[in-house]
Chain A
Amino acid sequence: MHTTSRASLALSISVLVISGWAYAADPIKIGLVNETTGPNAEAGAYTVNGVKLAVDEINAKGGIMGRPIELRIEDNQSTNPGTVLAYSKLTGEGGITAIVGPIRSTQIQAASPTIQKGGLPAMVGGTDPSLTKVNNPWIFRLRPNDSYSSRVIADFGLNSLKLKKWAIVHSTDAFGTGGMKALSAALQGQGITPVLTQGYTNNSQDFTPIVLAIKKSGADILATYMTNSQDVGIFAKQLRQLGVGVPWVGSPSIVTDTAMKLAGPALHGTYAVADYTPGSSPEARSFADKYKARYKLDSDVYSSWAYDAMHLLKFAIESGKATEPDKLRAALLGVCGWKGVEGTYCFDKNGDGLKGYNVVRNENGKITYLKHIDFKD
């Protein structure tokens, strides 16, 4: 053999040995139920980005208690039955410490019995309030639920913008309908009845009837719970084309990267509640910068909560010094004051970790952070 070949062989062997020795500890397996394929694959890609960023960061610093994280991604095909199958596969595999995902409330609902049977902590990103009200001890919600988003919207609109004639536009899926109900309730609690409540089915191609209805109702403030970026884009444009300029406070979907690209100037000047805003805290800023540097894309809510989930799991495992499900669960419930990208987490007994939202504004295409509104209950 040539000297150079012998040298490189020796080098390779030593590298292998060293790296093998560095990771001689067996990995901690964490599952991810993700929408890799199917209609929601767009969001799924971002979630994986956030998760991988966290995993690589953690592993670069030696992993959790010296053990690297091994990610087990299961594709749920963006469907409910797929989520059930993905969860049952992961919980049945053995050796998995915790599972992250998904973000869709209806998928989480479908998998709830499976999660309960599986007996592993599930870190979910869905905001339907009922998810943590089904006495499922294993569900931990990493984002503030919609009862809070609606209260923040109501609070901001009534107290900061001081407007009382509300029009609520919402998609008729679980997210939109739940949000609408919660917002109506929050407003009613302040003695206000919305002047218009209008639903639409996802992927509507034309919002003219709704815009005309808004005009007719005389509303002076518009609140929305919309799911798809395309719907946001078309609606926003038609709103402006037909001359509606009232203040608009929307759910987080109007400040996603895609929605803003599609709607362009039509969304300038709008407000939104968002659980993830880069400008809201040093942690958020740092995550946004790292994400951008690595992926050349702007970070968003699909990636932020999953990033938090990973880091939170590390924190909880290390603080409880255990990966056993019951101990990890206790450790998670005990977390209070941990600063994530989404906010400061403090878990209540139902598994809700966050109870407030940021209010942000779209100023000529840039999202500026205005304030954070929190609730105690």
Chain B
Amino acid sequence: MRTPDAIAVAPARAASRLPWIVLIIAVGILLPLLPYMFKTSDYVLNIFMNSVTYAMAVLGMVVVLGYTGQINLAQAAFFGFGAYSVALGTVSYGLPFWVALALGVGISGIAGVVLGLTTLRLGGHYLAMITISFQQIFDLVAVNWIELTHGPDGIAGIPRPSLFGHELSDQRAFLLFSTLVLYALIWFAWWLPGTRLGRAMRSVRDNELAAGTVGVHTLRVKVTAFTMSAVLGGIGGGLYASGFSYISPDNFNFARSIEFLTATLLGGAQSAFGGTLGTVLIVLLPEWFKDLPESLRFLTKVYLAIYGLAVILIMVFMPEGLWGLLRNAWGRVRKTAPQAVGKIVPLNFDIKVAHRTALLKLENLQKHFGGLKAVDGVDLEVMPGTVHALIGPNGSGKTTTLNVVSGIYRPTAGKVLFDGKDISLMAPHDRAGQGMGRTFQNIRLFSTMTALENVMVGGQRDNNPLQEGHDNLRHRALSALEFVGIAHRANEVVRNLPYGHQRYVEIARALAGHPTLLLLDEPGAGLNQTEKQELVGLLKRLRGHGLTIFLIDHDMGLVEKVSDKITVLNFGKKIAEGSPQDVLRHPDVIAAYLGEGPSGAAARA
């Protein structure tokens, strides 16, 4: 799953930000009150009304695209659901404004759920097409189903609501109200990424496969994101309808969706403030262009062409949007504070295993890709509290086996039993919920998140025997990081960590979930000899705590040192199994590795 670029800034001390927060709040309070203090033209009020309501829709884009990484080109349709509900509800059906708005938000939300569910099968370009199709169908229905929507005539005379007895018919009053709603939504969007759901969303954005494996219900998260986006759009649309008192289908078409998208990207998709900033610019820019001095007036004829060019330039030079630009400039001034490690509680392992028999059992496991039999009838047992290695030449089916065990592939035939339970068809996040943890050959961390946040996501798996609460989760994560020895770098963004440390973060992420079984796919890959020694030590400590480890690796020296039992695969079949001494000198095994002796195999690693 590819993601938009971003550089996340680690959470900074609140104290150093205080004066800025006060300033922003002061400006925020002052702005909507300005029209009461100074005579403001209708023109300016209209511009602000536009900006405020569009900004709500753009916040929806920030949630679904910026935070969760899902492309949504139907935001104008959601905006339209809210607008039409308010318009039709109040004008045609005589409902009170608040009821109509609630209805609009509800309908929009349901549409969001539907669209979110389509992500079960699709992502990327396909999702873009599905959302475009949805948008186009909405547009056509709005224009052609005249009995319901009044068609292209639109709906006029949409009333203003009254709040606590005050009629909001004054443009300024309604604008003030809408601005306050916007502030509330901005606060929500700002608060969201740091929550449990927010972390889950960002993990889906950064690496959906890994997110599922560590226990995130990826479909649920994506549906939630779409629903939130739809709800935000619906609120904006409802207020827009009342604000301008006339709506027609051409306000809610594909071009408008593109406008929302552009505003999001221009301002900065990953930030509530960025989205708001982008919206203001998109609304104001065409107007500014009209006010250019005479010599530059010709630009108004070509400003749309410049706009198009600007979009390209933004994508090339400013992928995090303006807000990202500002934040990076700001971030250079501050360094990430290291994490104090003194008070971290040692990691507890809580290992409860039901049977003294095999923790992991593969029965006649088959995985075929068309005609290719990657795994061809493998029987295997991993006993609790042991380190069990799976080795074999390239293409022998090791990683495929591991992927079937962790749920990324469905077996063609055969069974996977975990602690006595048949989990052959269980989704990856549910397996994590059973106590299975895993790392990947090519490290799959959530690149824009800090080490701490990465590990916290690991701790968010279902059934994690952990006390409720953010602090408990955080402490668990710190304990896991301390166990692997890098807790002092907890607040750094993982993309900036050296390779070896990233490996450890991945392991810590798995550990945060109290796993009983740990699946490691080439944990030694990319490590130098010293780092491998440390890794061996780590694995032995893990085993000492009662963890069961099932690993793949090519370094025979490492495998020999750390394993209790080795299974060897070749061409998808088991060709040998036993203690390291037996297996690594077995003639079939040596032959499988193309006739090289164990020393040759070790030298290759």
Contacts and interface: CB of A to CB of B under 8 A. Distances in A.
Contacts of A110: 154, 244, 246, 248
28 contacts: A36-B301, A37-B301, A37-B303, A37-B304, A75-B290, A77-B286, A79-B251, A80-B248, A80-B250, A80-B251, A81-B251, A85-B50, A88-B46, A92-B41, A92-B42, A106-B250, A109-B246, A112-B156, A113-B246, A128-B153, A130-B153, A172-B144, A173-B152, A174-B152, A177-B146, A177-B151, A177-B152, A178-B153
Contacts of A77: 286
B300 A37 contact: yes
Interface string A102-128: 000010011011100110000000001
B248 A89 contact: no
Given A37-B304, A114-B42, A172-B152, A106 B47 contact: no
Nearest to B286: A77
Nearest to B42: A88
A14 interface: no
A201 interface: yes
A49 interface: no
Contacts of B144: 172, 199, 201
A74 interface: yes
Contacts of A106: 152-154, 248, 250
Contacts of B117: none
CB-CB nearest 5 A-B residue pairs: A92-B41, A88-B42, A89-B43, A88-B43, A174-B152
Contacts of A79: 250-251
Contacts of A92: 41-44
Interface string B243-270: 0111010110000000000000000000
Interface in B137-174: 140, 143-144, 146, 151-154, 156
Contacts of A114: 42, 46
Contacts of B146: 177
A107 to B, nearest CB: 9
A226 to B, nearest CB: 14
A24 interface: no
Contact of A84 (B44, B46, B301): B46
B41 A88 contact: yes
Interface of B: 41-47, 50, 140, 143-144, 146, 151-154, 156, 244-246, 248, 250-251, 286-287, 290, 300-301, 303-304
Contacts of A128: 153
Contacts of B47: 85
Nearest to A175: B152
A110 to B, nearest CB: 5
A336 interface: no
A80 B304 CA distance: 17
Interface of A: 36-37, 74-75, 77, 79-81, 84-85, 88-89, 91-93, 106, 109-110, 112-114, 117-118, 128, 130, 134, 172-174, 177-178, 199, 201
B154 A109 contact: yes
Contacts of A199: 144
* Among B152, B290, B301: residue with most chain A CB under 10 A: B152
Contacts of B45: 88
* Among B45, B154, B156, B248: residue with most chain A CB under 10 A: B248
Contacts of B246: 80, 109-110, 112-113
B42 to A, nearest CB: 4
Contacts of B301: 36-37
A177 B42 contact: no
Contacts of B41: 88-89, 92-93
A109 B153 contact: yes
B286 to A, nearest CB: 7
Contacts of A89: 41, 43
A177 B46 CA distance: 30
Given A114-B46, A128-B153, A177-B151, 13 more contacts: A75-B290, A81-B244, A85-B43, A85-B47, A88-B41, A89-B43, A106-B250, A110-B246, A172-B144, A172-B151, A177-B152, A178-B153, A199-B144
A79 B246 CA distance: 13
A47 B50 CA distance: 28
Nearest to B50: A81
A117 B45 CA distance: 13
A188 to B, nearest CB: 18
Given A84-B244, A112-B156, A177-B146, A91 B42 contact: yes
Nearest to B41: A92
A84 B304 CA distance: 20
Contacts of B153: 106, 109, 128, 130, 174, 177-178
A199 B50 CA distance: 33
B340 to A, nearest CB: 54
* Among A81, A84, A92, A173: residue with most chain B CB under 10 A: A81
B300 A85 contact: no
B310 to A, nearest CB: 16
Given A173-B152, A174-B151, A109 B248 contact: yes
B151 A134 contact: no
Contacts of B245: 113
A332 to B, nearest CB: 23
Contacts of B44: 92
Contacts of A75: 290, 300
Contacts of A84: 46, 244
A197 to B, nearest CB: 13
A134 B250 contact: no
A247 B64 CA distance: 55
A201 B244 contact: no
B42 A173 contact: no
A93 B47 CA distance: 15
A75 B292 CA distance: 13
B294 to A, nearest CB: 13
A29 to B, nearest CB: 16
A212 B3 CA distance: 50
Contacts of B287: 85
A199 B145 CA distance: 12
Contact of A201 (B140, B248, B286, B303): B140
B250 A85 contact: no
